[in-house]
């Protein structure tokens, strides 16, 4: 994939990683039934938010050894 290709090309000077998010924030007009259906698709069963994105970005920026990875940010949704 593109992340791995760029990681190979730019290493060791540059680390290349990507984030593959699913639902991060609900729209204000999403009703309770839709929100619950969306949460049921996640193994974590928690409401997503920007904090999860910030935490993952912080981890990737501060890690010296992680490169060429695409990190799903989906609460385990990709495992269902």
Residue 7 belongs to domain with CATH number: 3.40.50.720
The confidence band for 47, taking pLDDT boundaries of 50, 70 and 90, is confident
The pLDDT of residue 14? 98
CA distances to 13, 16, 56, 80 from 3, rounded to whole Å, are 15, 6, 16, 24
State what percent of residues in the chain have pLDDT above 70. Answer: 100
Show the DSSP H helices in 1-80 as ranges. Answer: 2-10, 32-40, 50-62
Whether residue 78 has pLDDT greater than 90: no
The pLDDT of residue 52? 92
pTM of the model: 0.82
Number of folded domains that form the chain: 1
The parent domain of residue 17 ranges over 2-79
């Amino acid at each position: 994939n593109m992340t791995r290709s760029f990681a190979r090309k730019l290493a060791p000077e540059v680390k290349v990683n990507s984030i593959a998010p699913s639902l991060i924030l609900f729209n204000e007009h999403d009703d309770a039934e839709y929100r619950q259906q969306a949460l049921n698709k996640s193994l974590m069963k928690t409401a997503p938010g920007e904090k999860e994105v910030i935490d993952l970005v912080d981890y990737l920026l501060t890690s010296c050894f992680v490169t060429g990875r695409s990190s799903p940010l989906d609460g385990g949704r990709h495992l269902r």
